[in-house]
Structure 1
Amino acid sequence: MTPIRLSGAVMVHPRRMEAALGLVRSARRGFLDIVLDPEPEAPVSLRTAMRAWASVPRWATHHLVLEDDAQLSSGFAEQAERAATAAPDDAIAFYSNWNARNGGAVRLGALAGARWVTSAAEYTPTVALMLPADIAEGFAPYARRHGDEWPDDVVMARYLSHAGVRTLIAVPNLVQHGDLPSLSGNDFHGLRLAACLAPDPGDRPWCLADLVDPAVVPYFEFGVAQCQITYPGQDRRLTVGSRRFAPYLGIDTVRCSAELVQALTSDPGLAHSISSALPSRTVEELWNAAYVLGFLGQRHGGGDDVEKQIATWRSDPLVDSALHTLGPGGLCTSFAGQDLFRLSGLLGELTWRGVCAGARMKADAQRGQRTTGRKQPSLTVSIASTNPSLVHCLVNDLTDRGHQARGVFLDDEEVGETISSLGGTDVLVYALCTDASDPPLPHAQRCEDVLSHARSAGIGHVVLMDLSEGNADWPTSGELVPDSPAVTRVRLGTPYGPELTGPSPINSLIHQALRRQTLILRSEARFHLVHVWDIAELLDQLLRSGSPTSARCDLRHSRPVSLRDLASVIGEVVHPVDTVFTCEAPGDHRADRDAEASDATGPPQYGLAWAPALDLPEGVRTVAQWLAYEAEDRQ
């Protein structure tokens, strides 16, 4: 094997020269060179990264680049060389952010007792990254062609994927992120620290056999528990919330919730302190994040004795370090640093209890013990629409929740023939996606055609979902007439969310903000926005409700959102950007007038006690992260 010859560089902004020189002095003498930002007044970090990765000496086999606010563990250069010897062809990151997907992967690695983990699908943590020399040299040419104003850590992730290079993350992390003001406008992300830090990593060997490659990565970010799932047999990773990942993984949600109540009632002091510090939903989300982490965690060579595994975790300081960063990391945008440190013990105790409870539930499930969760439905549901990406989203979501779901793409000219062929379907969901300018008669006629053909196909329950703006063809009075099949008519508004593709002003604005571009608003259009996760939650509720009954509901729970309002939210949760408004020609605001009329009158309400779970900032964030990390056309 070729001996490892490691070179290093520090990306430096002139305002941080003192910190950078301190970083150089903290490393092995002569190891790190300084690479200055060529345009320090501009806010983009990519140009400096390109210079740093291009600065590979001829003699080097590997090149490591550090950001100027990195803090190194003891003997870092020697540890990096040992890591390169063990995995010479891989990218190796020595830092992972405490609220990131990669931070979640590192926690799974700590629970397993592993030396490293494969990275999740998100940005590459470039605070401390090492690449083979030839791969390092290829970054700058790639970035010139494909950088397109994206941050350097996102470009790096796409480059390594393009080059076919695997990224591994050290467990524990060997680098800490310094608490310095962001030069890239990222201070709104809050305090950024390592998920699991070892200031003195010791002599533990580096071995590729000691690797965790998780198919599901749980993490806690912005106060929300989520999982990134790699679907078996598919080249697809997707981040989902707890309403979806729990049934997908087989987590008993009834038991999970009951054990949170038990954990708090059994310790009044903990309950009082937690409730005084956090809203109830945040407590539930932290518990869910810890619970799924324990459910997925598995100690290498630990056997089937869950109590022995928990005892091993309890005695491992790295596991304790990893679990104590879960809560503060997920709340770092809501609390100042000193408050996070004050709460860390409290959050860590709740996290430990959740992890242990999740591990015990997994052990019970593996022993075949009966759970208290919902029985999986046996109905077959067909999702039909002229919008293929919406069909794709809803079918995948309902399948993950345990339903037998299939998608049907409708051509306007073949609706009747297609619906009539759906023999064996118990529930038909027809998602009507129309433009506000569509005349009301075809809108209503389409629904009647669907009902007629569903009746012919012997379908017992039809859900007509109106996913459009406007109100013209909805009755404003009168009683429901019994239908055969039973018909649930639901108005929701304009759908948005991860995996929804096609022309979308929402996706377009978020995409611009991700690239730090000025948002140009050319319309005063307003929308009743409904997140695709909430649509799936409503359908799940309907499918589990038992005997279908006819109902008609307008479930738009908020006033319409203008593009100005949307741009403001995007600037708050995606990235601060400038906004320019150029009004369109007069007379193009039918959607606005219809939306106002809908707010003023509203159709009659029947049944369905339902409300959306995601507010607009949270929904926008899911779209932004999907566009940046998981969308198929992100390259």
Structure 2
Amino acid sequence: MNWDSPENSFLVRRAAVLGAPWAPLTSREYAPALGLVLPSDLARELGSYLAAIPDGVRDDDELIRAFCYERGVPLVAAVPHLLDHGDSPSVAGNDFHGLRRGVVLGPEAPLPAEYWLGARGMVHRLEVANEFRECLDVAVMFAASSALLRFPRAGKEEPHFHPFGWYWQDWCGLLGVNAGEIRAAAERFLGTAAAGPATGGAGPWQRVALEFWAACWLLGFDAGGKAGTGGETAASRHRNALVRAALASWLEAGLGAGDRSLDRAARSALVDVGTAAVRAGLRRGHG
């Protein structure tokens, strides 16, 4: 799953925050076709379906999405991902999209088998157990170093790859939260001695930190409203590392051109900010 896809990347990050090993995906976006696993009969049917498409049609991921949607086959992404595009040129001619790294890449140590078998109740709550349903009413974006909200409208012919969102401070009230509450929490955290980078550039860093805090707080808030009360699972025990990986990729994908000069220490400090913001948003969402 590409780290900056408009809606599915948010769903993967939300699953990571919830400690779920699988993330149900929306039907509005392309299927992640870099690695796809289907039951053998469906795989053969998909092969026949794609064989009838002219070779000049490039968007096989959109065709796979349509195939699955028409047959009621839910699309889910593994959290963490098992594959990544890497930095090599695209064999499909998609270099104009820029880097297409994964949302959550796996830890160096292999995950135990029970990790993938856990959190079945959580996946059910994320609406993927029995039938294909929409599972997204808002997506939080971090783009051009700003936190934005995206409100998908079911049944509308809205191009899903448009880059536009609504600025969080103006529209977060629709989610039942006040922008002042989020800003105040950010200012309390950013005012602590350990919250800033050890290197220079504090002005730009503080600006990005507030926006990244808002994006991550809203991610946590949304996840908190969907979390259950079950005990610890094999998946939840790996949650902290996977959440940090998900936030690091979000930051790298969403930094504006003018903020690319932030060094490694400054970026690591921003991920610390995001991690704290997710925890704060989760607590608020649970409440």
| Fold shared by both chains (TM-score > 0.5) | yes
| 1:335, distance to aligned residue in structure 2 (A) | 7.3
Corresponding residue to 2:229 among 286, 301, 313: 301
* In structure 1, distance between residues paired with 2:238 and 2:80: 16
Unaligned residue ranges in structure 1 (runs of 5+): 1-95, 367-635
* In structure 2, distance between residues paired with 1:219 and 1:356: 18
* In structure 1, distance between residues paired with 2:180 and 2:267: 27
Residues 276 and 264 of structure 1: CA distance in aligned 2, closer, same or farther (over 3 Å): same
**Is this contact kept in 2: 1:290–1:352, CA < 8 A?**
yes
Residue equivalent to 1:533: none
Residue equivalent to 1:223: 145
Instruction: Kindly provide the amino acid, as one letter, of the partner of residue 229 in structure 2.
Output: G
Which whole-Å deviations, capped at 9, do the CAs of 1:3-46 have from their partners, x for residues lacking one? xxxxxxxxxxxxxxxxxxxxxxxxxxxxxxxxxxxxxxxxxxxx
Structure whose alpha-carbon radius of gyration is higher: 1
Residue equivalent to 1:265: 191
* In structure 2, distance between residues paired with 1:267 and 1:206: 41
1:201 aligns with 2:111: yes
Which whole-Å deviations, capped at 9, do the CAs of 1:469-513 have from their partners, x for residues lacking one? xxxxxxxxxxxxxxxxxxxxxxxxxxxxxxxxxxxxxxxxxxxxx
Kindly report which structure 2 residues correspond to 1:177-326, keeping only aligned pairs within 5 A, or say none.
Answer: 177-199=85-107, 200-204=110-114, 205-206=116-117, 208-211=120-123, 212-213=126-127, 214-215=135-136, 216-229=138-151, 235=155, 240-241=165-166, 242=168, 245-267=171-193, 270=196, 275-276=201-202, 278=204, 282-298=208-224, 299-301=227-229, 316-326=240-250
Instruction: Kindly provide the amino acid, as one letter, of the partner of residue 106 in structure 2.
Output: A
Unaligned residue ranges in structure 2 (runs of 5+): 128-134
**Is this contact kept in 1: 2:17–2:239, CA < 8 A?**
no
1:356 aligns with 2:282: no
Residues 186 and 131 of structure 1: CA distance in aligned 2, closer, same or farther (over 3 Å): same
> What is the SS of the residue equivalent to 1:297?
helix
Residue equivalent to 2:268: 345
* In structure 1, distance between residues paired with 2:219 and 2:206: 20
* In structure 2, distance between residues paired with 1:230 and 1:159: 21
* In structure 2, distance between residues paired with 1:281 and 1:188: 29
Instruction: Kindly provide the amino acid, as one letter, of the partner of residue 347 in structure 1.
Output: L
| 1:147, distance to aligned residue in structure 2 (A) | 8.6
Residue equivalent to 2:44: 137
- Is the strand fraction higher in 1 or 2? 1
| 1:112, distance to aligned residue in structure 2 (A) | 1.5
* In structure 1, distance between residues paired with 2:229 and 2:105: 23
Instruction: Kindly provide the amino acid, as one letter, of the partner of residue 346 in structure 1.
Output: A
Kindly report which structure 2 residues correspond to 1:401-420, keeping only aligned pairs within 5 A, or say none.
Answer: none
Residues 268 and 195 of structure 1: CA distance in aligned 2, closer, same or farther (over 3 Å): same
* In structure 2, distance between residues paired with 1:264 and 1:166: 41
**Is this contact kept in 1: 2:16–2:239, CA < 8 A?**
no
* In structure 2, distance between residues paired with 1:192 and 1:334: 20
Corresponding residue to 1:113 among 3, 6, 19: 19
**Is this contact kept in 2: 1:190–1:333, CA < 8 A?**
no
Instruction: Note the aligned Cα RMSD (angstroms).
Output: 3.8
**Is this contact kept in 2: 1:314–1:320, CA < 8 A?**
no
Residues 166 and 217 of structure 1: CA distance in aligned 2, closer, same or farther (over 3 Å): same
Residues 266 and 209 of structure 1: CA distance in aligned 2, closer, same or farther (over 3 Å): closer
* In structure 1, distance between residues paired with 2:11 and 2:139: 6
| 1:281, distance to aligned residue in structure 2 (A) | 5.6
* In structure 2, distance between residues paired with 1:296 and 1:146: 41
**Is this contact kept in 2: 1:105–1:218, CA < 8 A?**
no
* In structure 2, distance between residues paired with 1:150 and 1:278: 40
| 1:187, distance to aligned residue in structure 2 (A) | 3.5
Instruction: Kindly provide the amino acid, as one letter, of the partner of residue 201 in structure 1.
Output: L
**Is this contact kept in 1: 2:197–2:269, CA < 8 A?**
no
* In structure 2, distance between residues paired with 1:132 and 1:228: 33
Residues 228 and 170 of structure 1: CA distance in aligned 2, closer, same or farther (over 3 Å): farther
Between the two proteins, the alignment pairs up a number of residues equal to: 259
Residue equivalent to 2:68: 160
* In structure 2, distance between residues paired with 1:191 and 1:295: 28
> What is the SS of the residue equivalent to 1:165?
coil
* In structure 2, distance between residues paired with 1:161 and 1:274: 50
* In structure 2, distance between residues paired with 1:174 and 1:257: 36
* In structure 2, distance between residues paired with 1:348 and 1:331: 12
Which whole-Å deviations, capped at 9, do the CAs of 1:544-591 have from their partners, x for residues lacking one? xxxxxxxxxxxxxxxxxxxxxxxxxxxxxxxxxxxxxxxxxxxxxxxx
Residues 148 and 226 of structure 1: CA distance in aligned 2, closer, same or farther (over 3 Å): farther
Residues 158 and 152 of structure 1: CA distance in aligned 2, closer, same or farther (over 3 Å): same
Which whole-Å deviations, capped at 9, do the CAs of 1:260-310 have from their partners, x for residues lacking one? 23332323761685854847664443222111011112344269xxxx9xx
**Is this contact kept in 2: 1:189–1:332, CA < 8 A?**
no
| 1:221, distance to aligned residue in structure 2 (A) | 3.7
Residues 293 and 335 of structure 1: CA distance in aligned 2, closer, same or farther (over 3 Å): same
Residues 202 and 122 of structure 1: CA distance in aligned 2, closer, same or farther (over 3 Å): same
Instruction: Kindly provide the amino acid, as one letter, of the partner of residue 358 in structure 1.
Output: G
* In structure 2, distance between residues paired with 1:202 and 1:110: 16
| 1:353, distance to aligned residue in structure 2 (A) | 2.5
* In structure 1, distance between residues paired with 2:186 and 2:67: 42
Identity %: 26
| 1:227, distance to aligned residue in structure 2 (A) | 4.2
* In structure 2, distance between residues paired with 1:249 and 1:217: 11
Tell me the TM-score normalised to structure 2 length: 0.71
